Amino acid sequence: MRMSNKVVLITGVTSDIGAATVKRFAEEGATLALTDMRPADTATLGAMGAADTRHMFQQADLREEVQVVALFDSVARRFGRLDVLVNIAGGDFGKNVELEELDVANLQRNIDANLTSTMLTCREAVKIMKPQSAGAIVNMCSMTFRGSSVNQFAYASSKGAVFALTRTLAMTLGKHGIRVNAVAPGMIEVESIKKTLAPGVWEGVSKWIGGTYPLGRVGQPVEVANCMLFLASDEASFVTGEVLEVSGGGRL
């Protein structure tokens, strides 16, 4: 199994992509340290194997530096090492408005959720990984990183920053044996999007957007999880500083 004897910290685990990622890493034998700002739900506990005492879950708001530091202290004390960090926590937390209506609070919320959280977790992970001279980090980017749809200023900017951070980390940390990559999903079928739409609307939206992709459909959470697993594994041992687009060939 690809993750046997490896300690893996995954953030944002109560999301659809998070739960799918937990399941895939568990299936590959990883020892899991999981976190989310929400309490662990039944799906997450089931995916990690609730009866498996190897694993841990610690609730944390990754926008808060003190909580991030406490999380990684817990991981270091319990496992003594960290082999992989998978950053899934984040999202689009602001309304898409005309530029003239964009306020600093909206912008800051996206920056904190997507960039600040990622930078803090990477910082703390590197403190553990450097003495090991080995490690892999996989960040959650987005197809919006190169510029997005009309008026999606805050989210696209924050994800563009995650791309820049990923490249900079890879260039800095390669000499320490630490690889840093990211995945950039296109439209993925997740409940957080479906819940924002009126009943029955998702079917039309997914058909329309999926129809613009060469593969003719939107993606599933497990398809993102599989790419994260690959980038974290030794199969990607000569891959760093890359953004793997998981979009059915589509471009935003």
d(CA 162, CA 195): 26
Tokens of 112: 């904190």
- Quote the radius of gyration of the chain (alpha carbons, Å): 18
Q: Is 155 a catalytic residue?
A: yes
Long-range own/partner contacts, residues 204-207 (CB < 8 A, 24 or more apart) = none
d(CA 211, CA 213): 5
Other beta carbons within 10 Å of 53: 7
Beta bridge partner(s), residue 188? 219
Count of residues making up the chain: 252
Catalytic position from the list 25, 57, 145, 155? 155
Name the nearest CA neighbour of 56 among 36, 75, 72: 75
Q: Which residues are catalytic?
A: 155
